[in-house]
Amino acid sequence: MKAIAGLALALAAGLTTVFGGPTLLEAWLPAFLLWTQLAVGSLGVLAIGHLLREDWLAPIRPPLEAAAHSLPVLALMAIPVLLAVETLYPWAAPEAGPQQGPRTLLLEPLAFRLRAIGYLLLWAVLGRALARPGRHQRLSALTLTLLIPSAVLAAHDWVLSRDPAWFASLQGFAIWVEGLAGALALAILAAQQAPPRAEGLPGLERALLTLALTVLWLWFTQFIVVWMADRPEEADWYLRRLGDWGWVQLGVALPALLLAIALAAPPDHGRWRMSAVCLLLLAQHVAHLWWVVRPDAPSAAPPPWLDLLVAGGLGFAWVVWWDAEHRRRPAAA
pLDDT tens digits along 173-189: 999 999 999 999 999 99
Q: Which of 91-95, 199-203, 262-266 has the lowest mean pLDDT?
A: 199-203
* pLDDT at 167 (0 to 100): 67
Between 21-52 and 2-19, two packed helices, what is the crossing angle to 10 degrees?
140
Residue 227 banded pLDDT, cuts 50, 70, 90: confident
Average confidence (pLDDT) over 280-303: 90
Q: Which of 92-101, 160-169, 210-219, 240-249 has the lowest mean pLDDT?
A: 92-101
DSSP string for 146-205: HHHHHHHHHHHHHTGGGSTT---TTHHHHHHHHHHHHHHHHHHHHTTTSPPPTTTHHHHH
pLDDT at 1 over 80: no
Residue of higher predicted confidence among 85 and 107: 85
Average confidence (pLDDT) over 243-261: 91
pLDDT at 333 over 50: no
Domain segments of the chain as ranges: 2-327
Which residues, in sequence order, are CB contacts of 58 under 8 Å at separation 6+? Answer: 196, 197, 200, 332, 333
* pLDDT at 238 (0 to 100): 84
H-type alpha helices, 197-303: 201-229, 232-241, 246-248, 254-264, 271-293
pLDDT at 2 over 70: no
Q: Are 218 and 174 in contact (CB under 8 A)?
A: yes
Average confidence (pLDDT) over 23-38: 93
Q: Are 25 and 44 in contact (CB under 8 A)?
A: no
pTM for the predicted model, two decimal places: 0.90
Which residues, in sequence order, are CB contacts of 181 under 8 Å at separation 6+? Answer: 41, 208, 211, 212, 214, 215, 281, 285
